[in-house]
Amino acid sequence: MLSSKEQKKIYELMVKTRVLEERLIKMNKSGQGFFWIGGPGEEAFNVPLGLLINKGEGLNHDFLHFHYRQSATLLTMGAKMIDVIRQMHNVAADPYSGGRNFVNHFAVKEWNVVNVTSPIEVQYAFCIGTGVAQARNKAKGITIVTGGDAGTAEGEFQSCLLWSSRKNRELPILIIVTNNRWGISTPQNEVHPKSGIAARAKGFGIKTAAVNGNNPLTSYEALQKAMHYVRKERKPFLMEVFVSRLYGHSSASGANWVGGEADCIREFEKQLKKKKIMKDSDFQKIRQKYEEEAKKALIEVLEEPKPDPASIFNHVFVDRKDAELV
């Protein structure tokens, strides 16, 4: 059981993320960012994930192959609100892509966060490699990969299941699928078998768990168990996590509150109140604090310069050498 203090901390981080995401959506709607995609509705799972990650650089820490709904994990790990806002506003100081990529497309070398990229499911192929390196080196770290339910139709999902479960060559990969029951506008039951995603891993002999991702406490526990297994046994584990998609797919679908889906923050507030860990005024105070932080950050970012056009040739190759055909 998590202590009251730990529960409070989880709550704070969930709210901090939600406030940030809502700020990003506002930025998009007011022309301060071209496109929004993010993770409102996944905080109850993604905060515990961030808390349990063995954070650091290199094989002895967890390698993280994330998709674009992972803001809560990154904030939990210590990412700054202002940096996410920088990426949203595509300024030069965006530490993840220098104004090149969409928001929530993180890249952090010191924390093994491999850069998030738009093509669905490719991370399930790349994670094989960090898994192989960690398995061989008997490293302390594991590999963690996340993605959505619709994307599991892609071949990389099967690649990941197969490569990670080869006999005597198992890979220490925590395979996470956050199931929001949608791929943009296509309902899951139209394109996927009824048996569910976890069932597919069973065919490879991979242990699985289905998790209610709207409850941070059960998410935390389930993650702890799954991670313990992967860390100790050096074998893959698949978690299918049921989450909400509270603002739709992205700004392309309007980024409006959808309604009718469980909101993990409201649910958690009910629990916290019942257990007398926090009260309404605490909730308000926390929200206000982060709203102010986000607003202040935005004001600062709006003044920051955009990237230099001459920088397009930077990082085509290492050291910029050979990039430009003179």
Partner 1 sequence: MATMAQAIRLALHYGEENLGVKDIFGEDVGPPLGGVFTCTQGLKNAWNSPLDERGIIGCAMGLAIAGQRPVAEIQFSDYIFNTIDLLKMCGNTLWCSNGIWQVPMVVMTPVGAGIHGSIYHSHSFESIMTHIQGWKIVMPSCAYDAYGLMLSAIQDPNPVMYLIPKALLRSQGEEKIPGEPENPKELSKMIDAPLGDRSQWKPKWPDLGDPKMPLGKAKIRLEGEHISVISYGRMLPLCMEAARQLADEGVDCEVIDLRTLFPYDQKTIFDSVKKTGRVVVVNEDTEVTNYGEHILRRITEDCFYYLEAPPTLLAGANVPGIGLSEPLEQASVPQLSSIINTLRKVAETA
Distance CA 194, CA 179 (A): 13
Which of 20, 44, 75, 120: binder of ligand TPP (CB under 6 A)? 120
CB of 241 to ligand TPP, least distance (A): 11
From the list ligand TPP, partner 1, none, partner contacted by residue 301 (C-beta under 5 to 8 A by kind): none
Distance CA 69, CA 42 (A): 7
DSSP string of 7-75, one letter each residue: HHHHHHHHHHHHHHHHHHHHHHHTTSSS-----TT-HHHHHHHHHHS--SSSTTS-EEE--TT-HHHHH
Which of 184, 191, 299, 323: binder of ligand TPP (CB under 6 A)? 184
Q: Phi then psi for 210, rounded to 5 degrees?
A: -105, 130
228-231: list long-range contacts, CB under 8 Å, 24+ apart: 230/142, 230/172, 230/173, 230/174, 231/140, 231/142, 231/172
CB of 134 to partner 1, least distance (A): 7
Contact 85, 19 (CB under 8 A): no
From the list partner 1, ligand TPP, none, partner contacted by residue 1 (C-beta under 5 to 8 A by kind): none
Q: Which helix (H) or strand (E) holds 212?
A: strand 207-212
Phi-psi label, residue 138: left if phi above 0, alpha if psi -120 to 50, beta otherwise: left
From the list ligand TPP, partner 1, none, partner contacted by residue 115 (C-beta under 5 to 8 A by kind): partner 1
List interacting residues with partner 1 (CB under 8 A): 58-59, 63, 65, 94, 96-98, 100-101, 105, 107-109, 114-115, 117, 119, 122, 124-134, 136, 143, 155-156, 159, 162-163, 166, 314-319, 322, 325-326
Per CB under 6 A, the segment of 116-124, 135-143, 209-217, 219-227 that binds ligand TPP is: 116-124
Does position 183 bind ligand TPP by CB under 6 A? Answer: yes
Contact 128, 164 (CB under 8 A): yes
Does position 180 bind ligand TPP by CB under 6 A? Answer: yes
Does position 38 bind ligand TPP by CB under 6 A? Answer: no
Contact 37, 68 (CB under 8 A): yes
From the list partner 1, ligand TPP, none, partner contacted by residue 136 (C-beta under 5 to 8 A by kind): partner 1
Q: Per-residue x/- mask for ligand TPP, residues 62 to 91, rule CB under 6 A?
A: -------x----------------------
Which of 83, 94, 149, 156: binder of ligand TPP (CB under 6 A)? 149
Q: Per-residue x/- mask for ligand TPP, residues 232 to 261, rule CB under 6 A?
A: -----------------x------------
Distance CA 16, CA 283 (A): 11
State the residues that interact with ligand TPP by CB under 6 A. 69, 118-120, 147-151, 180, 182-184, 249
